[in-house]
Structure 1
Amino acid sequence: MTPFVFFAVLTAAFLHAVWNALVKGGEDKRLNMAGVVIGHLPIAVPMLAFVPAPDPASYPYLLAGIALHFGYQCFLLESYKIGDLTQVYPIARGVAPLLVAIVSLMFLGVDLSGMEIVAVVTIAAGILSISLVRGADGLRNGRATAMALTTGCFIASYSLVDGLGARVAGTALGFYAWLGIANAILFVVFMAATTPQVLRDLPIKGKRIFFVGGAASFVAFSIVMWAFTQAPIALVTALREISIIFALLIGVLLMGERLSLGKVVSTMITLLGVALLRASR
């Protein structure tokens, strides 16, 4: 992974933490999630005039990606309703890079060096350890843990599909522009069928999340999509998941959350993995 790709993915991780913090911090989680997903449209639609269309060979990946992103968003939305997410959601973020690495090594023929494998495992361990920082209450909640593990499977699945699809498409930005538009339309239909009040409230109560959260999310995913074409998907996925560290910093500095010794240790383990990844090859 070149230095430019490395720091681009770090930027994406920060933007990912920003939109997650906006969703988590608001009272109406459905409104916030709708704002983020539908908020892709103001950037994705104009982008079509400036990027090439994806190769038709990538259409199966595009359809699969739309379904997987939608599933991820639905499970993420439900996860945000279950108690203290800092105990449960890190499970999803930590499991994803491990699953992507295993699939990449076993089925995709990806060649990772020993240090890269150690780096991925260290990052995942650091993220997973965050779920243990404030006790095991979240882990005793079987439904919450199952939700987190399922979310992690969706994250791993769409990461692999997005990465392979962007490569086949021949245009990472064109591929994600179409994916983002289709995903937003699907989410509008879903909200209209389940919670139509959300769509009515969005232009009034959801302006900030629509423009700020939507832009942050779209740019973050676009950067990662491009990075998938420049470096092994497993390494990009692992590095992206340090967004949980940025989220912790946002929580402590801007949302008044307490910074415990356990969180510091978990953060240092994760950052050690990042350093190993940067030093590899």
Structure 2
Amino acid sequence: MAIYNLGSINADYFYRVPHLPGPGETLAANGLSRGLGGKGANMSVAAARAGAHTIHIGAVGMDGLWARDQMMESGVDTRHVATLDDTPTGHAIINVDDAGENAIVLLPGANHEIPSKTRAAALSEASPGDTLLVQNETLNQAKTAKTARELGLYVAYAAAPFDATATAAILPFLDFLILNEIEAAQLTAATSKTADALGVADVIVTLGAKGARWLSGDTIRDFPAMPVTPVDTTGAGDTFTGYVLAARDRGLPMEQAIALASRAAALMVTRHGTADVIPDLKEVDEARF
């Protein structure tokens, strides 16, 4: 089995700040570092490190070849990452304060220019039962999800950054939906439907420090978060998503997949960085909480 991820690839620029800047405020940073990021890349790296065969569908500019290569070094199949001559790689400016909270500004760049032939070539290799994962940092999510559903793939969607129109368009093609508590409330406001009434087989609502909630048919089950002291919450949700889908792809029941993903996310928030520091399966298994 395999996971095909139509997802963003970003260069993440981290600025350590004493507090998140307010409107009109100029703030001196305490440090700067660059790393691989983007919700798509994060999820692909997480899924690969969780043991799944993960194929990334995306694009970078000529300035982003290092990002593609770093994904490959993390175990991600990057044959379907296009290189664009005239478009910059997407990037994110991430302010992280002393409490581990963050504020992020994104430039989509190549993430909004993924060639249609790149998407088509990747899905032409997929088999029924494989997984397609999409997020909202690229375009053509619903079109790609519809094609994947017709091919018999399990279609998963991380509804972030939240966009009501994009989410409504893709809902009819989904088998799996993951979103946080705020996004769930926004979706309910946009559709007048609660998460358990959307017609999606598996819905997970992440609840931050309170854990996660799984809704499937008549089943509603809460999973507690691991007791850790966070230093950086960036990428924790992406790590959770990648691990859940990788575990499911490897045949684990959803309850076990969520429990494993909760451990991976808890370990992730104790580290500074994004894709560079996503834990592998051995680290998650050996972690003591």
TM-score normalised by structure 2 residue count: 0.27
The answer to which structure has the higher helix fraction is 1
Structure of greater relative contact order (alpha carbons < 8 Å, 6+ residues apart): 1
The answer to which structure has the higher strand fraction is 2
TM-score normalised by structure 1 residue count: 0.28
